Structure 1
């Protein structure tokens, strides 16, 4: 089990739920270090003055906030600490909202909350009340000397605390050029929409996170293992230049693509695999259509004579067999 981050309490109204906070995720990303290729020594981080290019000692480094272009306010660590919100060790619930009202865009980092100091009953009470109401709690919490907005969410037997991005941290999508939400204005027909919905239905499944894997990480770890076993940890291996993948042509007829996708196979599991194959096949067909086909090879005179002679011989054998059967 991961290490506990802090002990505190969930507070709503006059109710306090003593809890312990644990991280709910772990990083499995592939990390690389920079090395000196001559000695395979790690390359350290050097702090350089960007204007002079000279190294700066730790004693001469201070923090600064850029309030205008290239103009800074210098702040000491004590000043920064004094401006930080007090760590109250409390998940202070501000309101309860319908779960679907909070967009995925606002979700940041998840944590687990476990009951503490004989708080099992009130913990269970809050968890079950949230499940029954379909609500989640919106709260303030201070973690690592920083204030966060957070969502208190019942997930099976556990209460999860998911920190949220503040409203001004999520960019407005109105800056993007997007098709109209009205299907007619977007050029989408009712028939295309129905087929797309059927395709989604065929590919629908229960969410199972164990069914998905970071294949890039798996491949990198397999490569590292091979080089370690081969004793080639410090060698750079020549890699065969991969063949450039042929780009498929732009598919213009969406209706045809959807129809062909739906027409191949029925059933959930088989349908999903065959629909995906159909999408690839349709794209390949469009790509192949753009290529100029090779002209058919002409038969030589000898091949034509052999083909004609073979056909006559076959006809003669067939007639002889027929005569024998008639005589019998």
Structure 2
């Protein structure tokens, strides 16, 4: 590895650590700006909504403050918060006491990562290929008809696409289940039947994200390919008599993908926020649905933990996207 590439990698790692530090600090400060005692408020709300009436709210609230040092000075609380993070201790859920927030996030995170990674990758690759084909001379009539239709779907929000898909494919046709991540009535085993059941439940949430993004990537790639077509290296490659497919892939798409990857990094935040709404509509057992349930129940420790996990995950995804640049453009290695 060259020194320039090492310097580039260390710079990006430093940026990732800085983003995580700022996210953790903000996540620590914001709950402490809320008026009143959020712990006592949450416990009182649970008791009113049907919890154990014999619970001494003051005693439980005092126990929470003692455990997490909420009566200590703010600076001491800040350092204790970092120590808890290093121990992977994000607190205890109010609504599901004494369930650890870390365990709840660990159960929901694989569902969200699998859904978001699969849907984003399919939408990005398919949209980029369709957009490049649309801009390339001699594009077929099917491409010219399909891509504009996909662009129309981009203007429809994720949650509205999710409702439309549920109506047609779950209610009318009954091809896929309308909600959930897996059939809870059956015994879970690591076999093909369980895998097929998980895929059936994930199909509609995944399609709502794909259909909402594929037109965006196609539109961006078409614009970049039009700019690439006017470059001298395309003309030179054609004059050398290279195969059109090779020109399309290695001279056209490879140079247009750099701006497309930049757009992917800029849109990851919107994709994640849209996926949160999709999980809520489909009652999908991911971080988005967990966050929604925690907000409704004012489960502060769960909200704090999920938001922090979403920020850190998004920062890590941006870091991975940033590492793709030297592979797409060798000039960055210098």
Q: TM-score range by the shorter chain?
A: under 0.3
* TM score, norm. by length of structure 1: 0.19
Q: Which of the pair has the greater relative contact order for Cα pairs under 8 Å at 6+ separation?
A: 2
* TM score, norm. by length of structure 2: 0.19
Greater strand percent: which structure? 1
Greater helix percent: which structure? 2
